């Protein structure tokens, strides 16, 4: 249970850093990946014979996950400008239904009535907690940019599915070596994105590196906890706990420190979220 809690805490902390650090987002994320790689190398560098033993399909999985990591992040930034940060977060967390359905239908994990009720309550809680963001023109914007929303939803779900389905392919790597390789790919793609518009000079800013160190250390801890929890718990249960926990805790942090809006719908969302956690326990 420790790793589930750590996964939730570090994911919420990532959201806090991203909201608080007033720095160029793509450059910050690119350097964050490079920091993750450096830290992981220092803590648990892979052996040469270990690398040689990895099958080609494992390298393919790592490449796809690395591209998805930075691609989904770029899409998140794009969506937040089109439909707002709140609705973007809601869509990302509603993607939990994809990995839960996958492990139940294709990996044979049992899904009991209690868990189904917990999932329904959890999905309703996610929507209600984000209800204030539907005010004004946000709902119309979401309809206008439905394709972006769908790609964001599918991308987040696909990352969870690939991590679970790819566990047998990644078992020769430690929980620190997995993010080392995935974030190497993501960081390389980020660097290439800076080459095209000739923005490499941005990466030399000292303040950017300070922010990247903070973000990178938290990010590495987040992926480490995620992988350890996914190994220790049934996937459907963990995915629901993790997504719902992030939504509820980030909402509380937003209310306490960022003066975000509260309404009866938000309160009902937290009540349903608590019920969902009980049902999923």
Name which residue leads in pLDDT, 8 or 140.
8
Higher local confidence (pLDDT), 245 or 142: 245
Q: What is the pLDDT of residue 133?
A: 66
Residues sharing a CB contact under 8 Å with residue 263, sequence separation 6 or more, in sequence order: 131, 132
> Which residue range is the domain that position 133 belongs to?
2-280
Closest C-alpha among 22, 32, 69 to residue 203? 32
Number of domains present in the structure of the chain: 1
CA-based angle 84:89:90, to the nearest 5?
100
Position 21 confidence tier, pLDDT thresholds 50, 70, 90:
confident
235-257 vs 97-105: helix crossing angle, rounded to 10: 170
pLDDT score recorded for residue 223: 94
Q: pLDDT tens digit string along 209-234?
A: 999 999 999 999 999 999 999 999 98
Q: Would the pLDDT of 17 be above 90? A: no
Higher confidence at residue 198 or residue 269?
269
pLDDT one-digit tens code per residue, 160-193: 999 999 999 998 899 999 999 999 999 999 999 8
Task: Give the whole-angstrom CA distance, residue 128 versus residue 124.
Answer: 6
pLDDT at 149: 79
Q: Which of 150, 120, 139 is nearest to 272 (CA)?
A: 120
CB contact burial 183-219 (16+ within 10 A = b; e otherwise): bbbbbbbbeeebeeeeeeebbebeebbebbebbbbbb
Cα(222)–Cα(15) distance, rounded to whole angstroms? 12
The Cα–Cα gap between 122 and 269 comes to 9
Q: Mean of the pLDDT values across residues 84-103?
A: 80
Inter-residue contact 276 to 125 (CB < 8 Å): yes
Residues 179, 32 contacting (CB under 8 angstroms)? no
Strands in the chain per DSSP E: none
Q: Considering only residues 109 and 83, tell me which one the structure prediction assigns the higher pLDDT.
A: 109
């Amino acid at each position: 249970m420790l790793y589930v809690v750590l996964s939730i805490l570090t994911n919420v902390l990532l959201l806090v850093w991203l909201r608080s650090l007033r720095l160029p987002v793509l450059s910050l994320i690119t350097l964050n990946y490079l920091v993750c790689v450096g830290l992981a190398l220092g803590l648990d560098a892979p052996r040469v014979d270990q690398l040689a033993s990895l099958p080609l399909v494992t390298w393919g999985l790592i490449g796809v996950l690395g591209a998805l990591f930075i691609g989904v992040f770029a899409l998140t930034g794009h969506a937040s400008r089109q439909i707002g940060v709140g609705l973007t977060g809601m869509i990302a967390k509603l993607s939990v239904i994809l990995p839960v359905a996958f492990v139940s239908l294709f990996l044979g994990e049992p899904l009991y009535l209690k868990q189904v009720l917990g999932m329904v309550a959890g999905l309703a809680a996610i929507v209600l907690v984000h209800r204030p963001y539907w005010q004004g023109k946000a709902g119309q914007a979401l309809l206008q940019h439905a394709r972006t929303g769908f790609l964001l939803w599918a991308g987040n779900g696909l990352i969870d599915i690939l991590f679970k389905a790819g566990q047998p392919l990644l078992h020769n790597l430690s929980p620190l070596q997995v993010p080392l390789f995935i974030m190497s790919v993501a960081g390389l793609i980020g660097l290439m994105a800076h080459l095209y518009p000739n923005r490499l000079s941005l990466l030399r800013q000292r303040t950017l590196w300070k922010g990247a160190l903070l973000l990178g250390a938290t990010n590495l801890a987040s992926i480490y906890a995620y992988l350890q929890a996914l190994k220790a718990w049934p996937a459907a249960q963990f995915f629901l706990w993790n997504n719902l926990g992030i939504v509820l805790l980030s909402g509380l942090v937003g209310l306490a420190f960022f003066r975000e809006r509260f309404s009866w719908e938000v309160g009902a969302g937290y009540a349903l979220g608590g019920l969902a956690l009980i049902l999923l326990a």
